[in-house]
Amino acid sequence: MFDKYQAFAWNGKDRQLKPVIRIPKQNINELYGIEKQKQLIIANTKAFIEGKRVNNVLLWGERGTGKTTLIKSLLNYFKETPLKMIQVLKNDIITISYLYDIIYENPNFRFIIFIDDLSFNEDDQEFRDLKIIMDGGIEEIPENSVIYATSNRRNLMPAISNSDNELFPEDNLQERASLIERFGLRIGFYRFSEEQYLEIVRYYASKDGISMLPDELIKKAREWALVHGTTGRSAYQFVLSLQIL
């Protein structure tokens, strides 16, 4: 199965892997405004494929800035390598220990465990489950595995409320830090400038063959941004909207 397919979805309930037949076609070179972030994740992934021990990675920050797309684009960038990617849903985090058994039995491949849009509330059990999974507990974690996650929250949890009922608030802080520190590489994604947004608009418009005067394109793109924001996702959706005009 791992010789034939590059990516998989993990079914924690049935303890099974479903091969992904249609691999995302994102080209990492077409992601604008996140050059530093691309360099960091490429370097970490390259070292991992070469058999080195690397950090778990958390991509955090603004919505629509390319966090998920960047991770998916690694599949094409490292296509002719032993790299495999397995997506795990938040509800299946506790079952990753069973996934480790499969990974351990396939030492010729290097596995990224991908958890998208990761965040927790105060009472989420998955928060504690993930800490145990990332440490391995009493069982050693396979050296050919690493966790890549995305989140809109820098600390994976909402801001702490200033409650007078909290006897030892520092304990709450320590609890939160104990998970985030398990991601040795934490890469921030920030709000795009207008110029970055317009650069992405120009690229997608050119790629899709949009026939429009440059000044008119920019005018409409700015109007779109007033409602939808200046993110990469917004730029892409704006160009899609032009297809029906």
> Per-residue DSSP letters for 129-189?
HHHHHHH-TTSPPPTTEEEEEEESSTTSSPPPP--TT-S-HHHHHHHHHHHHTT-SEEEEE
Higher-scoring residue by pLDDT: 171, 12: 12
Higher-scoring residue by pLDDT: 162, 188: 188
pTM: predicted TM-score of the whole model, two decimal places? 0.87
Residue 89 has pLDDT above 60, yes or no: yes
Residue 48 has pLDDT above 70, yes or no: yes
Phi, psi for residue 104 in degrees, rounded to 5: -60, -35
Q: Are 87 and 7 in contact (CB under 8 A)?
A: yes
Amino acid code (one letter) for 196: Q
Structure-token match 């690493």, residue found: 146
Q: What angle do CA 76, 228, 73 make, to 5 degrees?
A: 5
What pLDDT, on a 0 to 100 scale, did the predictor assign at position 167?
53
CA distances to 152, 157, 164, 245 from 190, in Å: 10, 18, 33, 31
Residue 123 has pLDDT above 90, yes or no: no
What pLDDT, on a 0 to 100 scale, did the predictor assign at position 218?
96
Mean pLDDT, all residues of the chain: 88
Using only the alpha carbons of the chain, give its radius of gyration: 20
- Alpha-carbon distance of 17 to 96, in angstroms, equals 12
218 three-class SS: helix
Cross-strand partners of 60? 151, 188
Residue 214 has pLDDT above 80, yes or no: yes
Higher-scoring residue by pLDDT: 8, 32: 8
